[in-house]
């Protein structure tokens, strides 16, 4: 199974992806996690990405596309994967289509977790408090920048998939378990549900 989880920062993509990993044994490919690992390891990509991430901007498309292409080509993705945090621009979505096409692969589902944007900032800053602020970009200024970047650059990705009839929307308001149940229902429902 190959899935994309779309939705703004704070929508619960990471939490839901992790649950799907536990349930279906497929891989979570979080570009945010990959970048944070690169920053921690001090790789050239990490050194370049750190300042961009800290201010809540997007890492350039060519860098991200190369990272995801390399990751998809590793053998552990054979059973499938959940993309979490990628694609984040329409150009990334187009590149992903091409990449999958070249490999004879397709996507089973593109699920957008839809939430009321007014709760996101509080949710993210609440999460930061709970986890002891482990993410450098969970500050008030960066969060508002990340939400603006989402509206301007990532919301069009949902439109891109919607216009091709490929998008499924799931209500992301409610508890983790409630949202999980809606995602499961959507996954069970078959491709034309
Ligand atoms: P996330 O953990 O998905 O919220 O990502 C954290 C940060 O990593 C983002 O605010 C961006 O700076 C960067 N990032 C993650 N994924 C991407 C992507 N697909 N394209 C560009 N930048 C990304």
Q: What is the pLDDT of residues 3-62, one digit of tens each?
A: 999 999 999 999 999 999 998 888 999 999 999 999 999 999 999 999 999 999 999 999
Q: Does any domain span residue 42?
A: no
User: Which phi-psi region, left, alpha or beta, contains residue 109 (left: φ > 0; alpha: ψ -120 to 50)?
Assistant: beta
| Mean pLDDT within 120-138 | 84
Q: Does any domain span residue 105?
A: yes
Q: Which two tokens stand for residue 29?
A: 């490919």
Q: Does any domain span residue 52?
A: no
- Note the pTM of the prediction, 2 decimals: 0.92
Nearest CA to ligand 1 atom 15: 32
Q: What is the pLDDT of residues 146-159, one digit of tens each?
A: 999 999 999 999 99
CATH of the domain at 181: 3.40.50.300
Its domain, for residue 103, covers 2-26+79-189
Q: Does any domain span residue 57?
A: no
Contact 136, 36 (CB under 8 A): no
Contact 113, 170 (CB under 8 A): yes
Contact 186, 170 (CB under 8 A): yes
**HSE-CB of 43 using CA atoms within 13 angstroms:** 12
Q: How many other CB atoms are there within 10 angstroms of residue 130's CB atom?
A: 9
| Ligand 1 atom with least separation from CA of 146 | 10
Q: Does any domain span residue 86?
A: yes
Residue 95 has pLDDT above 50, yes or no: yes
Q: Does any domain span residue 104?
A: yes
Domains contained in the chain, number = 1
Residue 190: band (very low, low, confident or very high) from pLDDT cuts 50, 70, 90: low
Residue 193 has pLDDT above 60, yes or no: no
Round to whole Å and give the CA distance between 129 and 28: 24
Q: What is the pLDDT of residue 67?
A: 97
* Distance in Å, CA 53 to ligand 1 centroid: 7
CA angle, corner 75, sides to 70 and 79, nearest 5? Answer: 110
What beta strand segments (E) does the chain contain? 2-6, 27-30, 81-84, 109-114, 167-171
Q: Does any domain span residue 43?
A: no
Residue with tokens 């800053």: 125
Instruction: Classify strands 81-84 and 27-30 as parallel, antiparallel or unpaired.
Output: parallel
Nearest CA to ligand 1 atom 2: 32
Closest CA to 45 of 23, 70, 22, 25: 70
Would residue 71 show up in a list of annotated catalytic residues for this protein? no
Q: Does any domain span residue 117?
A: yes
Q: Which two tokens stand for residue 53?
A: 């991430």
Ligand 1, pocket-test mutation among 12, 88, 131, 138, most atoms within 8 A of CB: 88
């Amino acid at each position: 199974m190959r899935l994309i989880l779309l939705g703004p920062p704070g929508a619960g993509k990471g939490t839901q992806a992790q649950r799907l990993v536990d349930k279906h044994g497929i891989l979570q490919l979080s570009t945010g996690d990959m970048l944070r690992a690169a920053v921690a390891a001090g790789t050239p990509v990490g050194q370049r990405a750190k300042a961009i991430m800290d201010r809540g901007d997007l890492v350039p498309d060519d860098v991200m596309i190369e990272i995801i292409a390399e990751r998809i080509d590793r053998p552990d993705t054979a059973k499938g994967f959940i993309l979490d945090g990628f694609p984040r621009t329409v150009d990334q979505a187009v590149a992903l289509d091409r990449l999958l096409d070249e490999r004879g692969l397709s996507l089973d589902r593109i699920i957008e977790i839809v939430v009321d944007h007014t709760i996101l900032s509080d949710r993210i800053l609440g999460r930061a408090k709970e986890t002891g602020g482990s993410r450098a970009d969970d500050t008030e200024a960066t969060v508002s920048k990340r939400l603006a970047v989402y509206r301007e650059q990532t919301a069009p990705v949902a439109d891109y998939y919607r216009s091709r009839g490929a998008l499924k929307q799931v209500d992301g308001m409610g508890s983790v378990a409630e949202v999980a149940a809606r995602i499961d229902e959507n996954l069970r429902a078959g491709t034309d549900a």
